[in-house]
Amino acid sequence: MNDKNKIKIMIVEDEQDLLNLYKDFLKNKGYSVLVTNTTATYIMDDYLEFKPDLIIIDYRLPDEKNGIDAAKEILLKYPSASILLTTAYDSIRNTFNSEEIFRDKKIALVIKPIKLFVLNKLIQELINRSVGN
């Protein structure tokens, strides 16, 4: 896979160990990790600047914006964006499923801990999913 064909990824994860684990694993799998951040404060600026093919966003973040808020903000402006929302809280599933904006979009929720082969599989599925409007 040459650089032009690499899938570009942005990671927003406040746990530095997990962020580094995801980043190292994805780079070893041939992905291009363009930007990482520990908060969603500048997620729109980063999205616009780096134009990732997929964003991995943790639900619980240390600023005023959680992962669901960040995902909604991106999908409002970029409805075809691919987003993998991660959380350690299974209770978030109901909130996620009740969000109308997520219907027929390239977004998935995964509960931590995430096996790395599952992370890779989900990324491939989201990238290849067509958006139904």
Please say whether the beta carbons of 72 and 101 come within 8 A. Answer: yes
pLDDT, residue 3, reads: 54
Report yes or no on 29 lying in a domain.
Answer: yes
- List pLDDT tens digits, range 96-125: 999 999 999 999 999 999 999 999 999 999
User: Please, what is the average pLDDT of the chain?
Assistant: 93
The reported pTM is: 0.94
Report yes or no on 133 lying in a domain.
Answer: no
Report yes or no on 52 lying in a domain.
Answer: yes
Across 29-51, average pLDDT? 96
What burial letters (b/e) apply to 20-44, b meaning 16+ CB within 10 Å?
eebbeebeeeebbbbbbbbbbbebe
Report yes or no on 42 lying in a domain.
Answer: yes
**Can you tell me whether residue 112 is helix, strand or coil?**
coil
Q: How far apart are CA 86 and CA 55, in angstroms?
A: 11
Q: How far apart are CA 57 and CA 68, in angstroms?
A: 9
Give the residue numbers spanning the domain of 107.
3-128
Count of domains forming the chain: 1
Across 25-35, average pLDDT? 97
Nearest to 112 by CA among 14, 33, 6, 24: 14
CATH of the domain at 46: 3.40.50.2300
